[in-house]
Structure 1
């Protein structure tokens, strides 16, 4: 059961994959279908198994990630 959700601001994500590399549940990947106005493929959630650890948000150099924790 998901404990949270990753919210990615696609307009500022630079597709660096740092969030993808630190996610312990492997629920993030770079989009294969979207690009933002700067031409980057933003990260996206590919599974609902988020444990709300916030590793992705802490690692993001552009502060493009927010983790919403469920009660």
Structure 2
């Protein structure tokens, strides 16, 4: 299920994020996407690839049509 987010473009300018995000949606990672998600987290996140402990939900934000 996609959850559309309402983002105030003026608010982005305050934080130096001068980019048109268009439609932005946040969704849960599917089981088939976990390996790629973990690979990207290891490459790009400051904390790297953290192990799942207990009940863990991973999310991704997507740009485009919601």
Q: Is the TM value for this pair above 0.5?
A: no
Please identify which structure carries the higher helix content.
Answer: 2
Range into which the TM-score falls when normalised by the shorter chain = under 0.3
TM-score, L = length of structure 2: 0.27
What is the TM-score with the length of structure 1 in the denominator?
Answer: 0.26
Higher normalized strand content (fraction of residues): 1
